[in-house]
A and B are shown apart, each in its own frame.
Chain A
Amino acid sequence: MPERTRKTGALSALFKQREVGLALILVVLFLLVGLRNPAFTTGSNALFILEDTAIMMILALGMLCVLLVGSIDISIAAIMALSTMTAGIIMKQNLNISEVQVMTDGVMGSVTLRESTPLILLILAGMGVGALCGALNGLLIAYGRVLPIVATLGMQYIIYGLSHTISRGQAVYRKDMPDSFINFSRATFLGLNSKIWFMLAVFVVIFIFLTYFRQGRYLYAVGSNRESAAMSGIKSPRTTLLAHIIMGTLAGLAGLLYASRDTKITQDMAMGYEMYVIASCVIGGVSVSGGRGKAVGVLLGALTMGVINNALTMLRLTGNSEFWKKAIQGALILSAVVINVLIQRSKERRVLKDRRI
């Protein structure tokens, strides 16, 4: 008898995971689009979707931390723009193009070398600016007690303004970028694109941080009940600040990857991206009122958004159907969110029923 209970326990525990429901939605969506365009279900397209969504995932993981403490950040697209523009200006100013004679297959040919500030310094600069913006958000919210949505709305205006000011209206193009930065989002390792590796690294770090570190557990504690967290000795403003710094830093990293992929940096880069990131988190089961959410769920949520986007491209809508895309996108996001909630509710009902027995 105890064996059997354990078995059903394991199975129901699996189904109790919110993430399983989401994975099911994903599979159904995937197959439906595959019926229309078989190219959609190929491995290379799946890998492309993952590669394309990686930046969103990095941002969503940062947003997870912010949402966990019951805060929100709608300035992330602006942070991406400012931190990337900072790195862009540095690389543009130090760019050095040289022709080098190289022997290939016994033939002398000239190769253009584009060198600038070392990539690692550019990354540090970008992430540093991001962290600074995040810290400012965090200070306003945690210590200034400005409501998160208002603080980050205001900061969004300010940061976009700053990015415009430092760029003086000039965009940074491929011709201004060193090879190292162009390859930053294009290099592959073990067959996987660097964006996927960066995403995996961020995921592992965030996952370990949230699961095994005391500071990480504090994020949940502060979000679910600020008063009791404070009573048990957790400094909630400090934890909120930390969450925003993480978000800012990751926004800096994501911005650099984004700019490297587009090989273009403009001062209004990624405008409107924040909403899709927040939507990914919510689809992934993160509660916007704080205290609930998992890193795995967030990844699946972002992936759902990526599949929806890619599916709309791969549906081969032409002519007038182009106009349907925007409405379909809204409807899909809404239904993904609603289905997820319904699954969650039925699970909770089952849990209650189990308890009664």
Chain B
Amino acid sequence: MKKTLSLVLALVMLLSLASAVLAEEPIQIGVVYKQTGNPFFEAAVRGFEEASKELGFEFIHNGPADSSNEGQIQIIEGYIQQGVDAIAISANDAAGVVSVLQSALDKGIKVVSWDSKVEPEGRMLNIDPSVAQNIGRVQVEEIARQIGGEGQIAILSAAATMDNQNTWIKYMQEELEKPEYAKIELVTIVYGDDLTDKSIQEMQGLINSYPDLKGVISPTTVGVAAAAVAIKDNGLSGKIKLTGLGLPSEMAEYLKDGTCEAMFLWNPIDLGYCAGFASVALVKGDITGAAGESFDSGRLGTKEIMEASDGGTFTLVGDPFRFTPENIDDWKEVY
């Protein structure tokens, strides 16, 4: 076997001598998203496309099939191997990609996180869809309006391990402390793991366990759609109010039939678009990702870079958009 191996190695080395020399090329950005086949990220890729047409950069995009941290590392290593100029990532695990992104930063690759942040040690800039506090607040305001300011509510979340979910829920709980929400009782928080069938089961459990339940907030696209299915199947449309963060394409029918009066989401296209501009600004050296700088973000105007609570820096794309039965038709084919 040893002979074989050395033979193979020698052959392989001979073949590899034929490697070509790098030529002057346009800026190349490697986009990493959480999962392949997720419409939210497909829309974000359209944002990158739009930005690439305006700025003339090239980009490649990929995400793991199983939304795993390990899969994202493999993709990032592949991008480093290809010598991209910048990496723009929506991380499955904020801490789990820090090491590999640091090795990318060491090689002079610029790193931007968008949608789901990377810890500050592994990024230069984070593109936040919206301030977490606002995301929590608007959903509480909406459910309070829908249930008339009093009654039991519950939260259907994704997984108890997701940072962004927990932050939003924390702000929701803070918001509910306010005196105007004194008559609203948050009875429980359940977790559907972002799996449709498990979320439906959890929602069904809520319906069976809390007969007086008036409203549900589900700050996850999978959860809110699953909750709508369960509420509608039980004939409770309009009786149990529902709001949350949902995909227009998935929720269109439920908004129209009254199962969900209104829901929110930020625009993934803008998110990708802004991340594309930020990456190019970093590569060109226009910005370094420090607080106080600003960069041009095309049709979104000039973006200010600010100090983030985690010690890094971030910029905001915009507040979550409110989808209602009146405007949903404009969006359901978009993402």
Task: Say if the beta carbon of B54 comes within 8 Å of chain A.
Answer: no
Most chain A C-beta atoms within 10 Å of own C-beta, residue among B233, B252, B332: B233
Please give, as numbers and ranges, the residues of chain B lying within 8 Å of A261 by CB-CB distance.
197, 200, 229
- Please give me the residue from chain B that is nearest to A258 by CB atom: B197
- Please give me the residue from chain B that is nearest to A160 by CB atom: B65
Contact status B39-A171, CB under 8 Å: yes
Task: Say if the beta carbon of A271 comes within 8 Å of chain B.
Answer: yes
Contact status A173-B250, CB under 8 Å: yes
Task: Say if the beta carbon of B150 comes within 8 Å of chain A.
Answer: no
Bound state CA distance, A164 and B37, in angstroms?
Answer: 8
Contact status A48-B233, CB under 8 Å: no
Task: Say if the beta carbon of A175 comes within 8 Å of chain B.
Answer: yes
Could you say which of A167, A258, A271 contacts B66, with CB atoms under 8 Å apart? A271
Bound state CA distance, A171 and B42, in angstroms?
Answer: 11
B60-90: which residues lie under 8 A (CB-CB) from chain A?
Answer: 65-66
Please give, as numbers and ranges, the residues of chain B lying within 8 Å of A171 by CB-CB distance.
37, 39, 250
B16-68: which residues lie under 8 A (CB-CB) from chain A?
Answer: 36-37, 39, 42, 65-66
Task: Say if the beta carbon of B191 comes within 8 Å of chain A.
Answer: yes
Interface SS of chain A: helix
Please give, as numbers and ranges, the residues of chain B lying within 8 Å of A167 by CB-CB distance.
37
Task: Say if the beta carbon of A92 comes within 8 Å of chain B.
Answer: no
B217-275: which residues lie under 8 A (CB-CB) from chain A?
Answer: 225-226, 229, 233, 249-250, 252-254
Bound state CA distance, A143 and B200, in angstroms?
Answer: 41
Contact status B36-A169, CB under 8 Å: yes
Contact status A164-B36, CB under 8 Å: yes
Please give, as numbers and ranges, the residues of chain A lying within 8 Å of B37 by CB-CB distance.
164, 167, 169, 171, 266-268
- Please give me the residue from chain A that is nearest to B199 by CB atom: A262
Quick one: CB contact mask for A251-291 with B, threshold 8 Å, 1 for yes? 00000001001111011101100000000000000000000
Which of A131-139, A307-315, A342-350 faces chain B? A307-315
Interface SS of chain B: helix
Please give, as numbers and ranges, the residues of chain B lying within 8 Å of A170 by CB-CB distance.
39
Could you say which of A42, A45, A169, A322 contacts B191, with CB atoms under 8 Å apart? A322
Given A160-B65, A170-B39, A268-B37: A262 and B205 within 8 A (CB)?
no
Which B positions have Cβ atoms within 8 angstroms of A?
A: 36-37, 39, 42, 65-66, 160, 188-191, 196-197, 200-202, 204-205, 208-209, 225-226, 229, 233, 249-250, 252-254, 332
26 contacts between A and B (CB under 8 A): A37-B209, A164-B37, A167-B37, A171-B37, A171-B39, A171-B250, A173-B249, A174-B250, A175-B253, A175-B332, A262-B196, A262-B200, A262-B229, A263-B229, A266-B37, A268-B37, A268-B65, A309-B201, A313-B202, A314-B205, A314-B208, A316-B188, A316-B209, A318-B189, A318-B190, A322-B191
